[in-house]
Amino acid sequence: MIIKINQSLARGEVMAPPSKSYAHRLLIGAALAKGVSIIKNIELNQDIHATLNGLKALGASYQFEDNQIVIQGIKKTEQKDLIFIDAYESGSTLRFLIPICLLMGKKIHFKGSKTLMSRGLSVYEEIFHHQQIHYEKDVENLYLNGSLKPGEYIIDGRISSQFITGLLFCLPLLQGDSKIIIKNGLESKDYIKITIDVLKKCGIEVQMYRNKIDIKGRQTFTNIEEVVEADYSNAAFLDAFNLLDGFVKVKGLKTSSYQGDKRYKKYFKELEENMPTLDISNCVDLGPILMMIGCFKNGVVLTGTKRLAIKESNRAIAMKEELEKFGAKIDVDENKVIIEKAPLHKPLEILDGHNDHRIVMALAVLLSKFGGKISGYEAVNKSYPTFFSQLETLGVDIEYEFDKEA
């Protein structure tokens, strides 16, 4: 579907949406606990739906009302002989739930989009091979059968922190102690801090020392009542209007948050002042919005960009293609993006959202300055389904190709 954004100035106050990173983890922690937990300030985007459906397949149950979820912990009596989970396009759902499924002693079938399954599971593949866990994968399906064993896990930290998070939810429940050793550094390490924070709320203790995490076995998750904190990743798109002459106050963000994407505030200031060099290796989801602002302001050099290639799209290439329609000058290398200052203009063709929520949102902010259209705007449903309705409350002039209910 196509959306048209006319030149308009964003003004007003808006609450930052709930953190998807915290929501996934809190829901999983609640499902692993006995009894009832309550998770407040939940937005039911596509990725959270995928995790909830996965937890239901594992034997949890839940009710959603008034932006909160009441969740009953997993009961194995509610499981089928074959556990089937459709992760759709959610990398978090897939990578977090794989180790948890291997606690259940059942055959497992994951389904996912071709894009998701192409993003790679090499870290788990090595573990499964070593522990002789049956593993079979094609372009849209993953089949597993076996159980993880306590012990030492050596993980390549350059690929994704999501594998470590998945193990951290599983290993405390095994009958022996375990250790995760992270080799080749750890990118997106702040996501591990979020995971450990949630585990602590659930009564699980792990100890992290530089590249090593010690996990005691035979632990028990306790039920919780928690509020999902606001999301810095998506707040960055709202705050970006202020660099395009808007007047937007984003409310609700926790200053002491573990979220690595809170760096955006510091990076935005640098983008206003000069052509900075910004390392996004620990906040790679900021890549699209930083590229957009770099084009509009004074240019930018982004380093630590290689993982942009393994997201919902190849984000560096996708943003280059779309921003060049505005007249931008961009070079993309394997681990670096260079954007030179150049005069921008209204795009002469419809922009492609590349089925990527962060691409769509970054382009939408820029279109408020020049006007134009985006194809595939519904990709925002993955993380921020109320994005465009919130822009309208800020005065952004939006026209929809189809009815909003379509």
One-letter amino acid of 164: I
> Residue 21 and residue 181: Cα distance in Å, rounded?
23
> Residue 386 and residue 242: Cα distance in Å, rounded?
20
> Residue 260 and residue 233: Cα distance in Å, rounded?
9
> Considering all CA atoms of the chain, what is the largest pairwise distance in Å, rounded to the nearest integer?
63
- Please, which residues have CB within 8 angstroms of residue 293's CB and are 6 or more apart in sequence? 240, 243, 268, 271, 300
* Phi, psi torsion values for 151, nearest 5 degrees: 150, -155
Active site residue 231: no
Residue 340: CB atoms within 10 Å:
15
Q: Using the 8-state DSSP alphabet, how is residue 267 labeled?
A: H
Which tokens sit at 264? 């955006």
Handedness of CA 163, 264, 398, 360 (dihedral sign): negative
> Residue 43 and residue 50: Cα distance in Å, rounded?
13
> Residue 59 and residue 53: Cα distance in Å, rounded?
10
Tell me which of 47, 231, 285, 352 is the catalytic residue: 285
Which tokens sit at 23? 């929501």
The helix (run of H) or strand (run of E) holding residue 153 is strand 152-156
> Residue 76 and residue 151: Cα distance in Å, rounded?
25
Q: Facing residues of 351 across strands?
A: 374
Nearest to 131 by CA among 183, 178, 96: 178
> Residue 98 and residue 48: Cα distance in Å, rounded?
16
Helices (H), 19-90: 20-32, 46-57
Which tokens sit at 164? 């470590």
Nearest to 228 by CA among 65, 14, 41: 41
E-assigned strand segments in 11-140 = 11-15, 36-40, 61-65, 68-72, 82-88, 107-112, 134-137
Active site residues: 285
